[in-house]
Amino acid sequence: MRRGSWVLVAVLLTGLAAGQMPAKAGEGWLHYGGDAGGNRYSAAAEITAGNVKGLREAWTYRTGDMEAHADDMKHSAFQATPILFSEALIFCTPFNEVIALDPGTGAEKWRYDPKIKTGYRPGNQFVCRGVTPWVDAAAAPDGLCASRLFMGTTDARLIALDAGTGQPCLGFGMDGEVRIDPGMELQWPGEFQISSPPSVADGVVVVGSSISDNRRADAPKGTVRAFDARTGKPVWAFDPVTRGAKDHPESWPRGGVAERTGHANVWAPIAADEARGLFFLPTSSPSPDFFGGMRAGDNRYANSVVALEAASGKVRWHFQTVHHDVWDYDLPAQPNLVTLQRDGKPVDAVVQVTKQGFVFVLDRDTGEPIFEVEERPVPQDGAAGEFLSPTQPFPVAPPPLVPQTLSADEAWGLTWWDRKACREKIAAARSEGIYTPPSAQGTIMYPFTAGGANWGGAAYDPATQTLYINTNRAAHLITLIPSENYEAAKAAEPNEEISPQAPTRWAVKRELLLSPLDLPCTPPPWGMLTAVDLSEGAIKWESVLGTVRDIAPVPVPLKWGVPNFGGPIVTAGGVVFIGATMDNYLRAFDAASGEELWKGRLPAGGQATPMTYVWEGKQYVVIAAGGHSRAGTTLGDYVKAYALPE
């Protein structure tokens, strides 16, 4: 393996909330996450566990990026999930072009190019995960921009387009766009960007941001910004870092230190509850990630699910999943807004999956845990100047989806030689289980910063109350370096990830825990798909996800599971579809048993979440196949659709 390779709403679209519009000739996928609550569920049932083996390619579309953006593809990831809206299949490319296709044939209907800046390296690659629809109920139904699309861009713009033509909505902002001011001078153009789709509720459109990690403590703020969906005028802004000595002193005990702290941004998609008029934010860690000496306290609202009132931006409630994060264990995925049956009664909940492999299940009105969460002691003795939390929140149920401890005796290797090397690496580092603090000695971080769960999120089947989530099982070695030694360390290992974390006293080196053969030192499987029964808080089944076919020195399809980026979807036909893996396949699993039923070969990496819809009576499954440059998968510019033969 090469180093570096590595919705409860049934979306029938027939009884939509105000501000949404069905595709007239079809039904299926209206939002990035299937519905505004991110459940990645479809009521389509033509494709079943019994006939999915008959899926065939229906059509293929190419965006042209391999030619038009040849020089920038090496810094890109095609992570888009199309939506079915205004009688078209609509998605964005990594370079923020918005393209509308005929859902039955894949023929291009229109495209819009915002002409983003290229030729530089964005902190989170060139990436756009999706667009968001909105219907202006006050506009004439056939008027320009009565139905519109919103998209955030790599160069920090919020753009509004007419959904039928792709023309800019000139009455929104300045000629159809709002430029987002990061609030401070950037160190380079790619430090601040928008990668996930906006969210809309109560006529308000909100966007988060993706900000490069570990460069500096005094980094751009992770402000969530809200705009009038019709005019683009600012409505409110929410900064997850509470500023000033008087704000929540129990969480920021040294007061003004928060003035010098950035981030806690929301880079993952935001979930919306239109009926309640609430947005649910998955926030990240304050800056920098691996040393918190300049941000003492639990750091309220960071690493939290935060429920905000759509009209005002006021906090309704919040629940923190990590106190004083020094592990980059930010919330990476859109919350799932689900309805559970508890004691014979429906309970609206928020489900949040995490990088640690936890599943937090919270009451949607109060934020109180539905399944108990315990505060448990965690390892201490942090680096000089650190302020660790003595405890961290652990859900009693469901159980963790991934291993969280790694000992030298558990080291894995293909041969005795590389296993020995892995054993020595682990033995030389601190490895006291999850939440072992970063150290100058070197600390094993398991699971690593890409999960557990990641941005692909989870899928939820309301009929069975089952959550489906893909996870990673790899480790990082985190080593703190005295700040005065940063330049020398970087010069000595220019190809390693060594970051300054300025102006703190510690720089940091983050590396995958790999053997001399560039295989993980953690035992396989390295990627899994798991079904969780949310009625009981128990794991129903686990299935190995992926083979090493496309990342091993020789194409041997050993079913060891592989790191994966992208998420699952689930259908009323009893099928879970997922790409995500590093072996270039779209797969179908039996939702009841976890058995792998079918796989379709992709021409490039499928590091995106698929979607499904019904068009003129036929069910299609679609995935973007364009690869992920950092993961080392095959790059491309394909959108592929599958269907059953006539």
pLDDT tens column, 498-507:
999 999 999 9
Mean local confidence (pLDDT), 95-105 = 98
CA separation, residue 171 to residues 174, 311, 348 (Å): 7, 21, 37
CA separation, residue 364 to residues 83, 238, 303, 342 (Å): 26, 20, 18, 14
Residue at token pair 């306290």: 297
Least Cα distance to 226 among 207, 242, 209, 241 occurs for: 207
User: Rg of the chain's alpha carbons, rounded to an integer?
Assistant: 23
Q: Is 181 a catalytic residue?
A: no
Tokens of 66: 């391999």
Q: Are 441 and 425 in contact (CB under 8 A)?
A: no
Amino acid type, 149: L
Tokens of 583: 């072996």
Distance CA 457, CA 367 (A): 19
Instruction: Classify domain 26-643 by CATH architecture.
Output: 8 Propeller (2.140)
What pLDDT, on a 0 to 100 scale, did the predictor assign at position 243? 72
pLDDT at 16 over 50: no
- Hey, which bits of 267-314 come out as E strands? 271-273, 278-282, 304-309
Distance CA 272, CA 269 (A): 10
Mean local confidence (pLDDT), 576-601 = 97
Tokens of 336: 């799932």
Distance CA 157, CA 180 (A): 6
CA separation, residue 253 to residues 105, 229, 391 (Å): 60, 38, 17
Question: Tens digits of per-residue pLDDT, 135-172?
Answer: 999 999 889 999 999 999 999 999 999 999 999 999 99
Q: How confident is the model at residue 21 (pLDDT cuts 50, 70, 90)?
A: very low
Catalytic residue among 72, 202, 289, 328: 328
- DSSP state, 632? T
Distance CA 195, CA 284 (A): 14
Distance CA 99, CA 106 (A): 11
Question: Tens digits of per-residue pLDDT, 430-474?
Answer: 999 999 999 999 999 999 999 999 999 999 999 999 999 999 999
Q: What are phi and psi of 73, to 5 degrees?
A: -60, -30
Tokens of 425: 């690496």
pLDDT at 335 over 80: yes
Question: Tens digits of per-residue pLDDT, 128-143?
Answer: 999 999 999 999 988 9
CA angle 423, 429, 430 (to 5 degrees): 120
Question: At a CB cut-off of 8 Å and minimum separation 6, what does 99 contact?
Answer: 63, 90, 91, 92, 93, 108, 110, 111, 112
Helix (H) or strand (E) holding 488: helix 486-492
- Residues belonging to the chain: 646
Tokens of 564: 């994966």
- Exposure string (b/e) for 54-82, b if CB count within 10 Å is 16 or more? ebeebbebbbebeeebeebbebbbbbbbb
CA separation, residue 576 to residues 485, 616, 641 (Å): 49, 23, 16
Distance CA 135, CA 149 (A): 9
Tokens of 516: 């001399």
Max mean pLDDT among 23-27, 213-217, 258-262, 547-551 falls in 213-217
What pLDDT, on a 0 to 100 scale, did the predictor assign at position 12? 29
Mean local confidence (pLDDT), 303-315 = 98
Question: Tens digits of per-residue pLDDT, 340-360?
Answer: 999 889 999 999 999 999 999
Question: At a CB cut-off of 8 Å and minimum separation 6, what does 586 contact?
Answer: 577, 578, 579, 599, 600, 602, 606, 610, 621, 623, 640, 642
- Give the side-chain half-sphere CA count within 13 A for 75: 15
The least confident of 100-109, 529-538, 558-567, 593-602 is: 558-567
Question: Tens digits of per-residue pLDDT, 231-289?
Answer: 999 999 999 998 765 556 667 666 546 667 889 999 999 999 999 999 999 999 999 99
Distance CA 389, CA 323 (A): 6
Question: Tens digits of per-residue pLDDT, 391-414?
Answer: 999 999 999 999 999 999 999 998
Q: What percent of the chain stands above pLDDT 70?
A: 93
Tokens of 91: 């998605």
What pLDDT, on a 0 to 100 scale, did the predictor assign at position 242? 81
Distance CA 447, CA 449 (A): 7
Domain boundaries, the chain: 26-643
Q: Are 372 and 393 in contact (CB under 8 A)?
A: no
Least Cα distance to 288 among 84, 126, 438 occurs for: 438
Distance CA 573, CA 77 (A): 30
HEC profile of 369-430 = ECCCEEEEECCCCCCCCCCCCCEEEEECCCCCCCCCCCCHHHCCCCCHHHHHHHHHHHHHCE
Distance CA 568, CA 563 (A): 14
Averaged pLDDT score across all residues of the chain: 93
